[in-house]
Each structure stands twice: as structure tokens, then as C-alpha cells.
């Protein structure tokens, strides 16, 4: 059965698949949107080498949703397709840009994911993290910059996170990543650290994560292209390419 363990004896870097992100269907013909599509892509990504999957539940228009209707359906579909696959969802503020409404939406979830990402710079994120923890949902703290790293490190949540994610934009580089890694490391949290980039920075930072012995991730959320610049057919092809790079 798949597991979201932190086994340091596994030779390949821990690889998670982020199969759609905030992108909309017009960005890629195989971007999964419906619960059935999310489930199929999650299974394909796992078979290609991903040890966990992160999804953005979407509404009928392909836009991210935090509402129970979409989240419950997406999580249930993946659970049915592959029981035991470690599964996470977004709580991105762009999907519901009111801190109290976001808390209320998450409180309404009835089919719970294993974990949820919480971007620490977004309004109300400490309160949201505490709510998730109280419901038995693991928290992945998303750290986008130094200010967020310091705020997270000073919080009472830092010691209880499932994972800390260093998340850099397309212009991110390894020097910036290392600076953030140092800030996160100084917090003394027991949570493993995941490093990833976006678009142009995706593949360089994935390789850097491998060199540093960190967890990392790949998928249509982070890039639409393979290391050689050709458009990927879908998530499984991206995961396979990442696994090959990380095994070198």
C-alpha cells in the first residue's frame, strides 16, 4: 500500500506529484479538472514513481475551489481509485480570498485529505493550520520568502507540520533556495523539507533538491515541459523524467 513515510533509506529522493495546480484547462489539453480526471492522473503519477499526490479541486469552470462540494468529490474519487495513496489539497487564498470564509470552507470538508498546503504569507494561515491539525489533517507549510520563513519559525505550528515546502517562482535560483533552507533549518522543526520551483526554475531546483537530499515535487502545476523543453503529455511523463533525473 502506498505510504507517506519519511524513509531515509530509499535511494531516490522523495517525489510528490502536483497534478494540476491553479492552472486552467486552456493551459494544457490533459490538465485534470473533474474528480474522475484527478483520480486517473493521480494513479498514473503514482505508477510513474510519485509517492504522494497534491491536487487542486476545481469547479465546473476549471477554477480552484475550497468548497466542500468540490473538495469532498475530488478526495473521494482519488481515494476510491487508489486507497492508501497519500493525498493532499490546496488551501490557496486565491481560491477564496476571505480569511474567515476560507476557515469556514475547510471546516465543512467531510472527506478529509491526508494533508493540505498552507502558504504562510497568506492572511489567516496560522489559524487555518491550527484548524487543519485539529481535524487530523497534516499541514504542509508553504514558504515563499524570508519573511514567511521567519514568521513560520516563530509560530506554534512549526513543531507540528508534516512538511515544510520551499516554493520559488520562475526566477528562483539555488542561492535563494539555500538562504531559505538555512532559515527553515534554524527553526529546528522535525518536519522534512521539500524544495521546488515553477516553470523556468522547476527542473534546476528539482535537481538541487536531489543534491541536497531534500524532498521535491513535479507535475503540471509546476511545469508543462520536460527537461529538454518539449511539452509533456501529462503528469506521468513528468514524474518519470523527474525520477530518472533524481536517480543519477
pLDDT tens figures, 70-124 = 999 999 999 999 999 999 999 999 999 999 999 999 999 999 999 999 999 999 9
In a domain, 4, yes or no: no
pLDDT reading at 3 higher than 70: no
CATH code where residue 108 lies: 3.20.20.70
Cell of 15: 517525489
In a domain, 135, yes or no: yes
pLDDT for the residue 2: 53
Find, among 174, 173, 182, 176, the residue nearest to 164 by Cα. 182
In a domain, 229, yes or no: yes
In a domain, 5, yes or no: no
In a domain, 8, yes or no: no
pTM, whole model, 2 decimals? 0.94
Question: Beta strand 163-167 with 15-18: parallel, antiparallel or unpaired?
Answer: unpaired
Q: How many domains does the chain have?
A: 1
In a domain, 3, yes or no: no
Amino acid at each position: 500500500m502506498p505510504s507517506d513515510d519519511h524513509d531515509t533509506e530509499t535511494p531516490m529522493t522523495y517525489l510528490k506529484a502536483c497534478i494540476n495546480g491553479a492552472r486552467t484547462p486552456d493551459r494544457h489539453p490533459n490538465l485534470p479538472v473533474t474528480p474522475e480526471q484527478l483520480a486517473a492522473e493521480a494513479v498514473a503519477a503514482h505508477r510513474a514513481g510519485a509517492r504522494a499526490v497534491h491536487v487542486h479541486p476545481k469547479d465546473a469552470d476549471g477554477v480552484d475551489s475550497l468548497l466542500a462540494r468540490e473538495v469532498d468529490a475530488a478526495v473521494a474519487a482519488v481515494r476510491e481509485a487508489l486507497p492508501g495513496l497519500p493525498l493532499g489539497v490546496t488551501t490557496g487564498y486565491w481560491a477564496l480570498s476571505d480569511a474567515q470564509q476560507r476557515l469556514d470552507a475547510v471546516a465543512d470538508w467531510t472527506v478529509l485529505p491526508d494533508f493540505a498546503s498552507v502558504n504562510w504569507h497568506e492572511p489567516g494561515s496560522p489559524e487555518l493550520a491550527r484548524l487543519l491539525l485539529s481535524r487530523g489533517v497534516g499541514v504542509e507549510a508553504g514558504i515563499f520568502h524570508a519573511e514567511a520563513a521567519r514568521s513560520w519559525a516563530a509560530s506554534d505550528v512549526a513543531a507540528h507540520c508534516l512538511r515544510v515546502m520551499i516554493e520559488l517562482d520562475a526566477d528562483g535560483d539555488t542561492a535563494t533556495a539555500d538562504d531559505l533552507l538555512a532559515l527553515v533549518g534554524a527553526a529546528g522543526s522535525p518536519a522534512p523539507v521539500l524544495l521546488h520551483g515553477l516553470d523556468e526554475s522547476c527542473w534546476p531546483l528539482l535537481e538541487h533538491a536531489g543534491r541536497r537530499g531534500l524532498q521535491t515535487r513535479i507535475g503540471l502545476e509546476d511545469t508543462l515541459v520536460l527537461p529538454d523543453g518539449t511539452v509533456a503529455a501529462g503528469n506521468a511523463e513528468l514524474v518519470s523524467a523527474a525520477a530518472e533525473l533524481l536517480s543519477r
